Amino acid sequence: MTGVWDPVHLPSQAGKTVVVTGGNAGIGYFTSEQLAAAGARVILAARSRERAEAAMGSIRSRVAGADVAFVAFDLTSLASIAAAAAELAGLGPIDALVNNAGLVVAPPRRQVTADGLELMVGGNALGHFALTAQLFPALTPDGRVVGLGSMSTRMVRLDPADLLSERRYRPFRAYAFSKHAVHGFAFELDRRLRDAGDSRRSLLAHPGFAVSGLAAKRPGVTDQARWRRLAEIVLFSVVGQGKDEGAWSSVRAVTDPDAESGTFFGPPRMQLTGIPAPLAPVTSSASPEFGARLWALAEERTGVTFELGAP
């Protein structure tokens, strides 16, 4: 990679279709807006039609001729994921899938998805595994899959034997485990693509320390209490960035023509802020041993077989 990438002047994405899960809010919204501004057709996969309509209205008000659409999608339901994958495939071919949606705040006690999977790992990681597997045949030969990483993987040691917190549950531990799994899936998919001689790419994007209060305002989408916004500005302006800037890592993973499969993009300044650059992940998340174990677990627990084949 040349290392030269400008978030203000993106390569044209005209003629491309990008799916952004959770594209109706937060980093997902700004990812969608920026990709639409670059000319991409953006499909927002989200639970709330009302919030998605507000997001699409906001994008259209800022991007003349924006081509945006909505597909209902619940990351915590395998039935919803299967239905969404079928609908999205019908809207393809897909040039990029940004697996952005996810739960950030874990519940105080262990909860499970509609299919009995621990909520954080089951939704954030295994749900996206199932979506990617079922949508993968609709990806173009140079299509990309982008996962949303997290610096929480540097704060909590991975325990592969208790990934679903069946032995011990702690809220932040469960969240960090879900991000270890997101990392593991991205790198294992990259390895399998390379082994298969498949030209499609698997990448990972880390948004840094991104908060709403430092982001550009988008009425109806980014609304928050005035006191909260002011508090975030005061507390985080030195160490954080807005969610609009946090979206840059995902956008680079989608748009950088030189991005190689297996690249982990994130902000370079202490992994908190800045224009995204290639980063090194924690060893445990990126290891082939964890990747293979995670892949087998994902197929077993979701009932979805992920077989690579010609696009």
Three-class SS of residue 49? helix
Domain for residue 92, yes or no?
yes
CA nearest to 98, candidates 195, 165, 186, 174: 186
**Cβ atoms 43, 71 nearer than 8 A:** yes
Helix (H) / strand (E) containing 72: strand 67-72
Q: Which of 175, 248, 265, 295 is catalytic?
A: 175
Give every residue of the chain whose pLDDT is below 50, as ranges.
Answer: none
Does 230 reside within a domain?
yes
Is residue 175 part of the annotated active site? The answer reads yes
Q: Specify the pTM.
A: 0.94
Report the number of distinct structural domains present in the chain: 1
In a domain, 143, yes or no: yes
Please tell me the predicted confidence (pLDDT) of residue 298.
98
Residue 296: inside a domain? yes
Residue 37 domain flag: yes
Domain that holds residue 116: 17-301
* Among 115, 123, 171, 118, residue whose Cα is nearest residue 148: 123
pLDDT at 3: 58
Q: What is the pLDDT of residue 2?
A: 53
CATH number at residue 60: 3.40.50.720
- Rounded to 5, what percent of the chain is helix, strand, coil? 45, 15, 40
Does 161 reside within a domain?
A: yes
pLDDT tens-digit series, residues 6-22: 899 999 999 999 999 99
Contact 31, 37 (CB under 8 A): no
3-class secondary-structure state, position 147: strand
